Each structure stands twice: as C-alpha cells, then as structure tokens.
Amino acid sequence: MAGSDVATDASSAPDTVKILIAGGFGVGKTTMVGSVSEIAPLRTEEPLTMAGLGVDDLDGIEEKRATTVALDFGRITISRDLVLYLFGTPGQQRFWFMWNDLALGALGAVVLVDVRRPESSFAAIDFFERRGIPFVVGVNGFHGEHPYPAEDIRDALAVPEHVQVLLCDARDRESCRDVLIALIDQLIATAVQG
C-alpha cells in the first residue's frame, strides 16, 4: 500500500517480545501498562468489595477502588523492528497462581515498586530471580515524588548490582518507555555476552 510503513512480507515483520509488568498490590502496574500502551489496554479490573476486607492490605493505598483480577495487556512499538507485548500481573497474593502462566515465553520483566511499601514487591523480585528471568526495578514515584535515591532502594530491596533500579512515574508515558528501553538494553547486552 503506497505510503504505508506496515511490513507486507513475513521477512520484514517486527520482532515481538513478551514483557511482564509485576509487583505487589497497588504499586501501579495497571497504570504503567495503560500509560505506555499505544493501543487501548485490556484491563481485567474489578471493584474492591467487602469480601477483601481483612484479606487485602490497603495500608498506604486507602484510595484504591479496583484491582486487577487476571492481567493487563498493552503494546508498544519501540522501533520499526521491535514491538513489546506487555502483560501486567495481578498483585494480590490470591491471584499469584497466574504468574507462572503469564511468565511463559516472557523474555524479561519490570518489577514495579512503591517506595511507601517496598515489601509489597519482594515476592515479585523472588519470582523472577528463582526463574532466571531478567528484570529491572522501576520505582514508581507516587504523586511525582521520589524521596529516596535509586541506590538506597537497591540496598533496601537487596537486589544485585546487575539489576537496574530506575526511578519512574507510572502515569508518564516517557518515563515508562525509558524503563522498558533499559530492560531491552539489558536483554540485548546479556544475549551478546552469552
């Protein structure tokens, strides 16, 4: 088609990469997928109900009204040759059983952290470390604030030096894109070394 950038033969189709956006309950995963996706994101959010009282820890996130019950999905084109498919994981412990299925075929992950509640992302870090899935840590600055430098957060989370810790804002497309590009750069560097 004249004037179209869309590839018409399979040899010039872009590479696609599956990336997980993971972390604890209420850290901003749905927001990140939505802010960076070039398509209308698929969301499986449901309202929080009375059934979650005493089960869902809303300490520090009292304003939260909905939660992801399966996954979020979005897509971002990084370049003509590379498209990322983003899968946001559910954060509540009772939905963690889905993480294994979501991780199938994933080349890497972003572990999103809320500095007000860093312990909520320990399980996600452990998940990717145990499975050998490369990841970066995105520190979501709620209300645009980053009260701690990245190195202090690295120490608090006890992540190794090779794992990048990046300050970001899940509401900001460019900030989220930069975290994803850092992950892709890490994946490329690892592939070249290996």
Structural domain contains residue 5: no
Structural domain contains residue 8: no
Structural domain contains residue 69: yes
Single-letter residue type at 19: I
Banded model confidence at residue 59, pLDDT cuts 50, 70, 90: low
Distance between CA 124 and CA 96 in Å, rounded? 10
Banded model confidence at residue 191, pLDDT cuts 50, 70, 90: confident
What percent of the chain is modeled with pLDDT above 90? 53
**pTM to 2 decimal places:** 0.83
CB 9 within 8 A of CB 16: no
Structural domain contains residue 7: no
CATH number at residue 31: 3.40.50.300
Number of structural domains the chain divides into: 1
